[in-house]
């Protein structure tokens, strides 16, 4: 809500007892609550999700927690950007209502031993490339949804597989929350905003704009039936390699709901890519064909 609260100091809570008290007070006042889970280093993509909650008249709760269980030992957990003071200032300016920035022990007490695993959807795309990633995401998101108990929770299409995984787990586990997907926010050259873009050198950042261009061109060619999907994907892979991307973990067209790779466009589909540029792993996705239509 942006009304009487926008000038107030934005509270940053770190203990679940404090969070519970605040949420209970809002609930008894009849307020609706929207949750935006993040790992911080906030950019315009994150802020767009927060605006959606505010525009819906909800108390906008933003969680900031760099979740260790979704990073493999070889990944960038320790390097991941942490900029809490800047994040809080951005959220304050926007009129968010609460930052939930739990301490590690609040989320993972000693001898933590319970995990949430979502099947099927995680067999594809990032699943095989990041074996424990979605289990870490599903576990932390389940906890956040239980802690905040929002009416709605907002997730970006930027991480489309994550959005599907969270939608499935919220339904399967009867969490009673509506999961809202929000279109990807992009820089003017088309690159999807991401906290990990901070890792790119100036030269890499220049070249990174090729990734969404190749995706969009391949999606358009697929929708127009210019060639078979495998042929178009082979050409896309070659274009990315030529531009200095590699290794390319995948570039695939998949069913938009099940994420199963497809060879023909019979149902709404999306094109997905994960590729490294230097040391940075970039992911992106877009609708193809019929699902492109308004
Ligand atoms: P994080 O990468 O910080 O992203 C937080 C949310 O912002 C996610 O829902 C993500 O899809 C969305 N987002 C990121 N970039 C975006 C963009 N360019 N346009 C629109 N939305 C964008 O995703 C995570 O954190 C974590 O896995 C989390 C869900 C918080 C669990 O730890």
Look at residue 1 in the predicted model and tell me its pLDDT: 64
- Do 37 and 151 fall into the same domain? yes
Q: Is residue 190 in a domain?
A: no
Q: Is residue 151 in a domain?
A: yes
Share of the chain above pLDDT 70, in %: 96
- Do 17 and 70 fall into the same domain? yes
Q: Token digits for 97?
A: 């209502």
For ligand 1, pick from 132, 158, 169, 185 the residue to mutate: most ligand atoms within 8 Å of CB. Answer: 158
256 lines ligand 1 (CB under 6 A): no
- Do 159 and 213 fall into the same domain? no
Look at residue 291 in the predicted model and tell me its pLDDT: 40
Chain segment 94-130, per-residue pLDDT in tens: 999 999 999 999 999 999 999 999 999 999 999 999 9
Q: How many domains does the chain have?
A: 2
Q: What are phi and psi of 43, to 5 degrees?
A: -130, -175
Helix H, strand E, coil C: the string for 159-184 is: HHHHHHHHHHHHHHCCCCCEEEEECC
CA of 242 to the centre of ligand 1 (A): 29
Look at residue 8 in the predicted model and tell me its pLDDT: 79
Overall average pLDDT of the 9-24 stretch: 97
- How far apart CA 141 and CA 71 sit, in angstroms, is 14
For 214, the domain range is: 195-288
Q: Is residue 269 in a domain?
A: yes
For ligand 1, pick from 38, 137, 164 the residue to mutate: most ligand atoms within 8 Å of CB. Answer: 38
Q: Report which protein residue has its CA nearest ligand 1's atom 5.
A: 38
- Do 26 and 171 fall into the same domain? yes
Chain segment 215-268, per-residue pLDDT in tens: 999 999 999 999 999 999 999 999 999 999 999 999 999 999 999 999 999 999
Overall average pLDDT of the 44-49 stretch: 98
Instruction: From 160, 182, 204, give the residue that closes a domain.
Output: 182
Helix (H, G, I), strand (E, B) or coil at 110: coil
Catalytic (active site) residue 43? no
Q: Tell me, what CATH number does 283's domain have?
A: 3.30.1300.10
**pLDDT greater than 90 at residue 181:** yes
State the chain's mean pLDDT as an integer: 95
Instruction: From 130, 147, 182, give the residue that closes a domain.
Output: 182
**pLDDT greater than 80 at residue 7:** no
pLDDT bracket for residue 2 (50, 70, 90)? low
- Do 245 and 266 fall into the same domain? yes
CA of 125 to the centre of ligand 1 (A): 17
Look at residue 186 in the predicted model and tell me its pLDDT: 98
Q: What are phi and psi of 282, to 5 degrees?
A: -105, 140
CA of 45 to the centre of ligand 1 (A): 8
Look at residue 289 in the predicted model and tell me its pLDDT: 78
- How far apart CA 124 and CA 130 sit, in angstroms, is 10
- Do 178 and 201 fall into the same domain? no
Q: Is residue 87 in a domain?
A: yes
Overall average pLDDT of the 43-65 stretch: 98
**pLDDT greater than 50 at residue 194:** yes
Chain segment 255-268, per-residue pLDDT in tens: 999 999 999 999 99
Q: Based on the number of CB atoms within 10 Å of its own CB, is 293 exposed (0-12), middle (13-18) or buried (19 or more)? A: exposed
- Do 229 and 132 fall into the same domain? no
User: Pairing relation of β-strands 98-100 and 12-13?
Assistant: parallel
Q: Is residue 293 in a domain?
A: no
Q: Distances in Å between the alpha carbon of 261 and those of 32, 59, 71, 123, 219?
A: 38, 39, 25, 11, 14
Q: Tell me, what CATH number does 22's domain have?
A: 3.40.50.620
Q: Give the nearest ligand 1 atom to 158 CA.
A: 11
- Do 132 and 269 fall into the same domain? no
CA of 167 to the centre of ligand 1 (A): 14
- Do 199 and 178 fall into the same domain? no
Q: Is residue 117 in a domain?
A: yes
Q: What is the pTM of this model?
A: 0.96
- Do 28 and 124 fall into the same domain? yes
**Residue that the structure tokens 């960038």 belong to:** 76
**pLDDT greater than 50 at residue 195:** yes
Q: Is residue 169 in a domain?
A: yes
Q: Is residue 189 in a domain?
A: no
**pLDDT greater than 80 at residue 202:** yes
- Do 132 and 163 fall into the same domain? yes
Overall average pLDDT of the 131-136 stretch: 97
- Do 138 and 283 fall into the same domain? no
Q: Which segments within the chain are labelled E, that is strand?
A: 12-13, 33-38, 59-64, 98-100, 152-156, 178-182, 248-255, 269-277, 280-288
Q: Token digits for 251?
A: 């570039």
Q: Give the nearest ligand 1 atom to 67 CA.
A: 32
Q: Distances in Å between the alpha carbon of 270 and those of 10, 60, 115, 118, 285?
A: 38, 30, 29, 21, 7
Instruction: From 123, 157, 182, give the residue that closes a domain.
Output: 182
Q: What are phi and psi of 10, to 5 degrees?
A: -75, 120
């Amino acid at each position: 809500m942006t009304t009487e609260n926008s000038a107030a100091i934005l509270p940053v809570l770190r203990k679940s007892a404090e969070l519970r008290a605040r949420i209970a007070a809002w609930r008894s006042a009849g307020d609706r609550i929207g949750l935006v889970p993040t790992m911080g280093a906030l950019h315009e993509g994150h802020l767009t999700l927060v605006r959606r909650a505010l525009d819906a008249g909800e108390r906008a709760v933003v969680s900031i927690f760099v979740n260790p269980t979704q990073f493999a030992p070889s990944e960038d957990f320790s390097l991941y950007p942490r900029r809490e003071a800047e994040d809080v200032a951005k959220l304050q300016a926007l009129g968010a209502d609460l930052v939930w920035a739990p301490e590690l022990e609040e989320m993972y007490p000693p001898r933590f031993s319970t995990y949430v695993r979502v099947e099927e959807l995680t067999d594809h795309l990032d699943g095989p490339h990041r074996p424990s990633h979605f289990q870490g995401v599903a576990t932390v998101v389940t906890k956040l949804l239980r802690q905040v108990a929002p009416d709605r929770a907002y997730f970006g299409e930027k991480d489309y597989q994550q959005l599907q995984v969270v939608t499935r787990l919220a339904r399967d586990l009867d969490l009673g929350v509506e999961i809202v997907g929000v279109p990807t926010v992009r820089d003017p050259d088309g690159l999807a905003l991401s906290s990990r873009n901070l890792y790119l050198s100036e030269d890499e950042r220049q070249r990174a704009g090729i990734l969404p261009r190749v995706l969009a061109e391949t999606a358009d060619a697929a929708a127009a039936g210019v060639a078979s999907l495998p042929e178009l994907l082979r050409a896309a892979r070659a274009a990315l390699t030529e531009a200095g991307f590699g290794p390319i973990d995948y570039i695939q067209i998949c069913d938009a709901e099940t994420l199963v790779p497809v060879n023909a466009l019979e149902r709404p589909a999306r094109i997905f890519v994960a590729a490294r540029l230097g040391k940075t792993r970039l992911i992106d996705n877009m609708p193809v064909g019929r699902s492109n239509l308004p």
